[in-house]
Amino acid sequence: MGNAQARKRKASDDEPERFPMAEPRQKRRRLDSEGMSDEYRSAIDNGSILSLQSIISNTNTIANDPPRKRKRLGDRLSKLFSFSTHKLDEGDQQHEEPISSASSERGMHGNRVEDGTNFASPASVSRTVWPVPWLESLFLPEFPNRNTVTERNFVRMHEIGRGSFGRVYRVVARKDSRGVYALKVMEKSKILSRNAVEQVKREVKIQKHLGAYTFVARLFFCWQNRGNLFCLQQIADGPSGDLFTVWRDHGPFPEETIRILGAEFACAIDYMHRNGIIYRDLKLENVVIDGDGHILIVDFGLAKELRMGDKTSTICGTLQYMAPEVAAGNGYGHWVDWWSLGVLLHILFTNRYPYPNADAGHHTELVFVDYSTPPAASKDLGNFLDRLLSGALTRRLCYFEVIHAHEFFSGIDFQAIEQRRFSPLAYFPWFDGCVSCVSDRESESSDADKSFESMFEEQYQDFDYFNEAMAHFAPECVPMQL
């Protein structure tokens, strides 16, 4: 509004003052035709954050403008806000989203303006300029620093495992006792000391990519606080524990159990390969067994995205399960997971490693000679293990289609295997759960009332708990008739 019009309206006693003034009239800044001073106009044109804050602090000067003027100013504010947020994303590693079309249609206090003219809310704009702490931004976006689900929403039962960066706990949801999960807690200090930030982020990314599958542990949520990272995962609903503990207590396994376990592993490995993932760390300790004896693969710390047909050359994995190509530092592909499966099944059947590598301390110490077929194995099982563990790639079983067609799995319905219709441990008449795991749970049953909130600074806050279905209601497991 021009100065002449402003003086005319001021002189009228019947109309209120249009622009409330905190300064004497003679010091008032001149406004242009859109209700903005030269300083505000320059601020919008330059797109500076400080100018944005000045505009927000003076929004009362446009509250009573005509609709056309408010619309033009709102468009300019939205443009300025988008530009400022973009600058923050590049310079300060912010992860705030530009204001959405829905929020840009709100009024000054989050409500729609009565005459239908809309502009961005200054309150929502001002909240985006705060920087994210460096120790939190390192793990974004895989580990959000603001999440609906946090560690305060669960009660710790007992510890079920340990890893390089922390521990895994069995937890129960506070608002639904049926919600039992595995919560992995990793210390940021240990991750940083080992320069493993990208490794833990890659692990989460891969598990999210794999999604829900019968024999792969599902990842539900990830988040972080000041000192820890958290991963809420599916837990095996049974007392069996990991495959290493079951084998230690009940090994060696009969051939019928090896057949069904081998089929379940083959389905899991093929699923990961079809989704462009090479696992690289298949071993007894990374497999959990549920109450019916079915497998659940966990710990994707060494997994990697790799397209079928491509190769990688990183030397990694557990030495005793490492394929010759990995140990030699040569390029290798998805087939090394099938070698690890051969080692695992050989251990379950014979209680020993297929090659004399039990005491190896470095990949250069591994030897791949003096292999002999287990004397107690049938002809089909013996040939299956021989070809899985063959040093020559031309003879080795390297693909699911070839493994699926092997005589050892003749008569196996792999679709029924994926539906968990047959229990691998049903052939053990004495199997009623993992002895070690049951005793561990009984000794730690007093921890059922301990809460995770005692481990952290923040106090528990109520929330609307999510209801995530994770149980597999499969038909009753029965021994497979071969």
**Are 163 and 300 in the same domain?**
no
| Digitized pLDDT (tens) for each residue of the chain, 482 residues in all | 555 555 545 444 554 444 444 444 444 444 444 445 555 555 555 544 344 444 444 444 444 555 555 556 555 545 544 433 333 333 333 333 333 333 333 333 333 333 444 444 444 444 545 677 888 999 999 999 888 889 999 999 989 888 889 999 999 999 887 789 999 999 999 999 999 999 999 999 999 999 999 999 999 999 999 999 999 999 987 666 789 988 998 889 999 999 999 999 999 999 999 999 999 999 999 999 887 889 999 999 999 999 999 999 999 999 999 999 999 998 999 999 999 999 999 999 999 999 999 999 999 999 998 899 999 999 999 999 999 999 999 999 999 999 999 999 998 999 999 999 988 887 776 666 554 554 444 444 333 334 334 433 333 333 322 333 333 333 334 334 33
On whether 184 is known to bind a ligand per the annotation, the reply is yes
Residue 151 makes CB contacts below 8 A (sequence gap 6+) with 183, 185, 223, 225, 228, 230, 452, 453, 455, 456
Asked if residue 175 belongs to a domain, the reply is: yes
CATH number of the domain within which 293 lies? 1.10.510.10
Q: What does the alpha-carbon distance between residue 424 and residue 414 come to, in Å, rounded to a whole number?
A: 13
Q: Are residues 188 and 265 in the same domain?
A: no
Q: Within this chain, do residues 337 and 218 fall inside the same structural domain, yes or no?
A: no
For residues 178 and 197, membership in a common domain is answered with yes
Q: Note the pLDDT of residue 99.
A: 33
* Shared domain check, 23 and 5: yes
- Any idea how long the chain is? 482
pLDDT at position 236, please? Answer: 83
Q: What per-residue confidence (pLDDT) applies to 3?
A: 56
Let me know if residue 359 belongs to a domain: yes
Tell me if 403 is assigned to some domain: yes
- Number of Cβ within 10 Å of residue 128's Cβ equals 16
Asked if residue 231 is part of any domain, the answer here is yes
pLDDT at 147: 80
Instruction: List Cβ neighbours of 459 (8 Å cut-off, separation of 6 or more).
Output: 152, 453
Q: Is 26 contained in some domain?
A: yes
pLDDT at 178: 78
Identify whether 105 is part of a domain: no
Is residue 106 in a domain? no
Beta strands 287-289 and 277-278, pairing class: unpaired
Q: Is residue 55 part of a domain?
A: yes
Would you state the structure tokens that stand for residue 170, as one six-digit string?
């069995």
DSSP characters over 58-103: TGGGTTTS-HHHHHHHHHHHHHHHHHHHHHHHHHT---PPPPPHHH
Tell me the C-alpha distance between 47 and 44, whole Å: 5
Judge if 231 and 257 occupy the same domain.
no
- The C-alpha atoms of residue 44 and residue 79 are separated, in whole angstroms, by 9
Q: What DSSP state is assigned to residue 312?
A: B
Residue 217 shares a structural domain with residue 308: no
SS3 212: coil
Q: Are residues 282 and 352 in the same domain?
A: yes
CATH code of the domain containing 179: 3.30.200.20
How does pLDDT run across 243-285, given as a tens digit for each residue? 998 899 888 999 999 999 999 999 999 999 999 999 999 999 9
For 393, the domain range is: 241-427
Question: Which one of the listed residues 65, 242, 281, 290 is annotated catalytic?
Answer: 281
Q: How many domains does the chain have?
A: 3
Same domain for 325 and 387: yes
**This prediction's pTM:** 0.66
Active site residue 281: yes
Dihedral of CA 443/445/448/450: which sign? negative
Q: Are residues 165 and 312 in the same domain?
A: no
Same domain, 306 and 443: no
Instruction: Name the token pair of 179.
Output: 């919600």
DSSP 223-289: EE-SSEEEEEE---SSS-EEHHHHHHHHPSPPHHHHHHHHHHHHHHHHHHHHTTEE-----GGGEEE
CA dist 117 and 72 (Å) reads 10
Asked if residue 280 and residue 218 are part of one domain, the reply reads: no
